[in-house]
Structure 1
């Protein structure tokens, strides 16, 4: 069974930089796993030395809606037993 926790919010560039920096430190500093803040909740994930990373960038231009750019970063791993 899969559990999904999602949060959509608007942040300033500075707030986003702080969030990503703190998330980076959590991955780097944790010995057992990583606690990921998602909205008003924290999700505890298992530890793995290797992480698969996929980065997807989409640039769209539309006369009606204007330009839109999206960056999606997906990280996945199998937690160590």
Structure 2
């Protein structure tokens, strides 16, 4: 049991990669991401600034997530 080898933090995703958001430990952040449709399928990382925000996009919706938030979100590759 445990996390699959492809699971990682959103803060470690490179620009251009498509991933699925798996876990969001903060209830408020999870609710917001669900409302804007980012939990319904794969998201694309548009930009990642070292020690800064991660910008993700899905179906035309683009959101910047702060580094501390992105570091707590677990993602897996889109193929999983």
- TM-score, normalised by the number of residues in structure 1: 0.33
Which structure is larger by alpha-carbon Rg, 1 or 2?
Answer: 1
- TM-score, normalised by the number of residues in structure 2: 0.33
Greater relative CO (CA pairs within 8 A, separation 6+): 2
